[in-house]
Amino acid sequence: MVQSLKEIADLRKELINHVDIQGLWEVLNTEQEWIDLATMTEFCFPDNPSCDHESAVIRAFFKNRLYFKFNPDSFFPNSEEQVIRIAAREKEEARRKQIITEGASWIKNIVNDNFFLSNPFSDKEMEFIEILRSTYLFEKEDKHYELGKAMLTKAGIKDLSMIFQILKKINVFDEDENIDLFKYNISTTFSDNAIQESSALAERMSTFPENTFSDAKRIDLTQLSLMTIDGKATVDFDDALSIEEVENYYRLGIHIVDVGHFVEKGSVIDSE
């Protein structure tokens, strides 16, 4: 009995190959009406169709849902617009699955130090990097979030914070990367106009114009010797102390650079 059932199953599988669903759709799609199972089976197998042929038809349509919608005993051809839309959706889903599978493998190789650092990255690697990078920066707000999360999950990674370590390994991120610059789209370069204006401003200030301290609230203390209190690793030395001996006491001065005094409101430098 088992052997008999196996032979029936094998026969029905073989019969599926003789069901030309696309060809049927090309003939029937203009009708836009339901077609019963018996009629559809006769279209596929005109010579004395049996229950095996009916089963093969059902299985064939179940495997290929692009051209017809169906229930257990009838079929309805999709319109041409529906076919185009479904085909595009299936193509995108297939591409998504491919990205998840290949991306997960790529991630595993990086985590396990089993990778070669491309220079430059391939187009496929750049796609994986962009997905992970934007997923890390914007999390659920990002359009790639579900895709990035699926790649990580398939690679056996549950913690999204691991993305930083992955991208650091391939030199996309530095150890001390300022993530907020990317997250809030803050430019790390200045325009040519801003650079030119700052150079001109620096040139003007090198002669220290007489009207620098025209504001009555400001006093010229440029004769004082200052000692910065910024660390040696800092980029800007803009905080300092001074000590003056005045009669029988010492005066401690606290100095903070006020760049805003020299930058005009609304100028290119101010805007950037």
DSSP one-letter string for 251-266:
EEEEEE--GGGTSPTT
Q: 56, 78, 100 — which closes off a domain?
A: 78
Q: What is the pLDDT of residue 231?
A: 85
Average pLDDT over residues 108-122: 84
The domain tally of the chain equals 3
Residue 40's closest CA among 70, 80, 63, 8? 70
What's the DSSP call for residue 267?
A: S
Pick from 18, 44, 78: which residue ends a domain?
Answer: 78
Looking at the structure, do residues 161 and 131 belong to the same domain, yes or no?
Answer: yes
Same domain, 109 and 174: yes
Q: Do 130 and 164 belong together in one domain?
A: yes
Give residue for tokens 């990002």.
Answer: 142
Q: For residue 188, tell me if it sits in a domain.
A: no
| Residue 36, domain CATH | 1.10.10
Assess whether 168 and 225 both reside in one domain: no
Verify that 260 and 224 share a domain, yes or no: yes
Task: Based on the fold, state whether residues 179 and 88 are members of the same structural domain.
Answer: yes
Structural domain includes residue 103: yes
Residue 128 CB partners (closer than 8 Å, separation 6+): 99, 102, 103, 106, 107, 151
Choose the final residue of a domain: 78, 109, 143.
Answer: 78
Task: Report residue 121's pLDDT band, with 50, 70 and 90 as the boundaries.
Answer: confident
Residues 6 and 67 both lie in one domain: yes
Say whether both 70 and 92 belong to one domain: no
pLDDT digits (tens, 9 = 90+) for 206-227: 766 566 666 677 777 888 999 9
Within this chain, do residues 74 and 88 fall inside the same structural domain, yes or no? no
In a domain, 261, yes or no: yes
Distance CA 64, CA 56 (A): 12
Q: Is the dihedral of CA 221, 224, 230, 236 positive or negative?
A: positive
pLDDT at 127 over 90: yes
DSSP 228: E
Calculate the alpha carbon distances from 220 to 70, 209, 246 in Å: 88, 12, 17
| Residue 256 shares a structural domain with residue 225 | yes
User: Which ranges in the chain belong to alpha helices (H)?
Assistant: 2-16, 21-28, 37-44, 51-63, 80-111, 123-138, 145-154, 162-169, 179-183, 192-206, 268-271
Q: Is residue 193 situated within a structural domain?
A: no
**Is the residue at 200 inside a domain?**
no
Q: Does 68 map to a domain?
A: yes
Query: pLDDT tens, 65-99?
Result: 999 999 988 999 999 999 999 999 999 999 999 99
Please list, in sequence order, all residues whose beta carbon lies within 8 angstroms of the beta carbon of residue 237, skipping any fewer than 6 positions away: 228, 230
Mean pLDDT of the chain: 88
Residue at 217 is within a domain: yes
Q: Does residue 125 fall inside a structural domain?
A: yes
Domain that holds residue 251: 209-271
Same structural domain for residues 39 and 20? yes
Q: Mean of the pLDDT values across residues 158-186?
A: 90
Pairing relation of β-strands 74-77 and 227-228?
Answer: unpaired
Instruction: Specify the pLDDT at position 2.
Output: 60
Same domain membership, residue 163 and residue 98: yes
